[in-house]
Each structure stands twice: as C-alpha cells, then as structure tokens.
Structure 1
Amino acid sequence: MPKILQHAGGDVVEVILADHRWFEEALRELRDVESDRAAVLADLATVLIAHAEAEESKVYPQLRKKDAIDAEEVEHSEHEHDEGNEALLELMEVEDTASEEFSEKTHELSEALSHHLDEEERDVLNPARTDVSQEVRDDLGAQFAAERARLIESGAGSIENVRKLVAAAKKKQKSS
C-alpha cells in the first residue's frame, strides 16, 4: 500500500503531480483483491479530500489571480472535484470490499479521478508552469502542503465529512 505522502512544499506543480501519481497507485491497490482495500480506501479518501480542498482554497485562487487559469477553468475543476467526491462516497458506502459492487464503484471512482487528473495536468498545471514564476510556485507549494497536512490531521476523509461535502455540492448545483 502506498504510504501517505507528506509534502514540505516545493514547486506546487511537482507537489500536486506527486499526489496524482500516489492516487494512481492507490487505485491500483484498490483493484487488487489481495490488498487491504478498506485501509487503502481510508487513506485514499483522506488524501483525496485534503488535496482537492487545498487546491480549491490555496492554489486555484492564486493561479486565477496570476491569470494562469480563468474562472471557467476553476469552476470546471471544482465541478470535477465534486463528481470525484460523489464517486468516492458511493465507494465508501459499500460494506463488502470483496463484492462486485465494490469493484464497480472502484471503477467509477477510477474513471472520474483519471479524467480529472488528465485535464488538470494539461489545463491547470501546464499554465502554472509557463505563466507563474518559480518563486510564486514555491510559495504556493508551501501553502498547499500546509493546508493539505492540516486537512489530513483534521480527518478530512471521514465518511461524515465526505457526505457533508457531497451534500453541499448538490445544494450549490441546485441553486445555480
């Protein structure tokens, strides 16, 4: 099982990419019937929620301010986080990790997450590389890492918190 990465900071692009590769490894572990799927899922939920929340609060606003990404890109990325959270919750609610339902919900989460990682790497991280100075990227990396660590410590991946995030996203979607 991949160990949860703790970032000290550094270039925000590299820090985010390290998480993305970790997510891919965790998904591979979830597909393995011989792995401790419940433990892998708990770690994945914790890091995934902390990662997305830290991006939304620390990274996206700064990239927007620096004109590396626009409001539409931020909204799209946040929408994909909401979709991923919903797929994550559906997986977390499956009681039997050896069931076909668990495998199906793992596939759905994998599809949503893989799609988001691809788009974010192309449409958010590439502009961050080219349109934002190294100094700003390093500062953002430190902010992102600190917020991500705080959220991990706070239990961001608990099923109660994931339910709360999904409910808030549905409410926001209905009002828009």
Structure 2
Amino acid sequence: MDTMTPEERSILMGKIRGKNTKPELLVRSMLHRCGYRYSLHNKALPGKPDIVLRKHKTVVFVHGCFWHRHPDCKVASMPKSNTAFWQDKFERNVANDKKHRRALETLGWKVIVVWACELKDPEKVLRRLLKELTAERADEKFRYPPAEETLLIAAEAKAKYITQRKKRR
C-alpha cells in the first residue's frame, strides 16, 4: 500500500526529470573535458537522444536503471503497489528504447547506452566512451588522453557529481 496521498505522490513524481539529469550531466562533463562537442536532445532524431555527436555520427543515451529496466540491476525493482500499471509502463519504455535504437541504427547512427549505475565507476565509462568514439578515427591524429588524465577527468567529474547530489539533499 502506498504511504503517500495521491497529491503527495503526484508532487514527488513531478520532480522526476527526463532531461539534464545528474548522470547525464556527468557523462556530458567527461566528454566535454576530453574535447568532444555535442548537441543535446535533438528532436529530429528518434528517441531524442541525450547526447548527439554529429561529427562521429554517434548518439549517447544515459538511461536510469529503474525507468529503462537495466537487466540484473538491483535499482530496477518492481514497485509493490499498482504493479499492473508499472509492468505496462516498463514494457512500453523498453519497447520504445528498442524501437528508437533500431531506427537510429537504420539511419546510420552508432548508439551508445550508459546506465546510471555504471557511473559509480566513471573512469570505466569514460574509457568505454572514448574507445567507441575513437574506433572509427584510428587513422586520424587523435589525442587519446593518457591513463592518468582519463582517471583525473573521471575523478573530477565524479567529485562534482557527488557535491551536487549532496547540495540537493
């Protein structure tokens, strides 16, 4: 049974953002510090990707584990009340994610998904992003940040993320 009144629940759910979330800001910060420039939430592309790197024909979705049902993640739990509603909602979200991914790939875009829980280790996420983005540019002169710099970029981004999260509480 829900411990909140419908009005309280509505207020709480209304505070959940779809854009510019803390995990998304962390990924954007790391990419920007590595010299990548991007656009945000392009309405012309299927699914309005969180980050669009036109030069690399790549999009990045930063998915929340709960809303997008990250497999084998403890955050992707099922609410105990109104389970039929939530089951339907989650199935629609996952189906839309697959549909948008297929549409983008059909248009020739490379799709990268970063899960919010992966950002507990931002260095690992940053290395994966850089690997994906530099794979096509192997012949070009591209400055791949050395390990120490990658670690520093990720650590600074994580520190900023944690500080902002503490302020919010």
TM-score over 0.5 for the alignment? no
Larger relative contact order (CA 8 Å, sep ≥ 6): 1
Bigger Rg, which one? 2
TM-score band w.r.t. shorter chain: 0.3 to 0.5
Flag the structure with higher strand content. 2
TM-score, with normalisation over the residues of structure 1?
0.32
